[in-house]
Amino acid sequence: MRLLIMGPPGAGKGTQAVNIAKTLNIPHISTGDIYRENMKNETPLGLEAKVFYDKGMYVPDEITNRIVEDRLTWDDAKNGFLLDGYPRTIDQVNFLDQILSKKSQKIEKVLELTIDIPVVVERLLKRAQEQGRIDDTKEVITKRLEVYASSTAPLLAEYKNRGILVQVDGMGSVSEVEEKINFALGN
């Protein structure tokens, strides 16, 4: 299965993606995790990404596209994958279509987690207290939500047109949401 998980920051994408990938036995590929790992290790990629990440802005498409293109050539992604946090722009959607079509592949399902904005703000502020993530300050959260609304939310219409969008209510506890996802995906 080639699957995407989408939704606003704090919708529970990263949280739910771990379980979905395990159930379907496919790799969970999170561009956010890749950037955080590189920032932690202060690699050239991490230092480049940090300038954007810190402000709640998207890292430029050419950088993110290159990373995903490379990651999808790994052996574990041969028979499927779950992409978390990618694509986030129309350029990334087009790029992903291109790299998959070269292998006669396509995205089969797009899982959208829907959620009320005050709930995501509350979750991210809680995570700030627990984990101190640099992009979880009130100011940066507001920016991330704006960027999501203008650049990423419109992409859902494209996947809806293709007939592959599956919407799941992301409100409730982690296990409640997990149950709803399993039901929606027929797992």
CB of 33 to ligand B4P, least distance (A): 6
CB of 186 to ligand B4P, least distance (A): 21
Contact between 151 and ligand B4P by CB under 6 A: the answer reads: no
Q: Residues 50, 55, 71, 127: which is the catalytic one?
A: 127
133 is an active site residue: yes
CA distance 19 to 67: 23
Contact between 56 and ligand B4P by CB under 6 A: the answer reads: yes
Q: What does the DSSP 8-state code read for residue 86?
A: -
144 is an active site residue: yes
Q: What does the DSSP 8-state code read for residue 108?
A: -
With CB under 6 A as the contact rule, which of the stretches 70-78, 83-91, 95-103, 156-164 interacts with ligand B4P? Answer: 83-91
**Residue tagged 């996802």 (tokens):** 181
CB atoms within 10 A of CB 94: 13
CA distances from 91 to 13, 30, 51 (A): 21, 18, 21
162 is an active site residue: no
Site for ligand B4P in 94-113 (CB under 6 A): none
Selected from 15, 19, 23, 137, the binder of ligand B4P by CB under 6 A is 15
Burial class from Cβ neighbours inside 10 Å (0-12, 13-18, 19+) for residue 181 reads buried
Contact between 64 and ligand B4P by CB under 6 A: the answer reads: yes
- Return the H-helix or E-strand segment holding 178: helix 174-185
Q: Phi/psi at 41 (nearest 5 deg)?
A: -90, 5
Selected from 4, 32, 96, 111, the binder of ligand B4P by CB under 6 A is 32
CA distance 187 to 175: 15
User: Active-site residues: which are they?
Assistant: 13, 88, 127, 133, 144
What residue ranges bind ligand B4P (CB under 6 A)? Answer: 9-15, 31-32, 35, 52-53, 56, 58-59, 64, 85-86, 88, 92, 123-124, 127, 135, 144, 172-174, 177
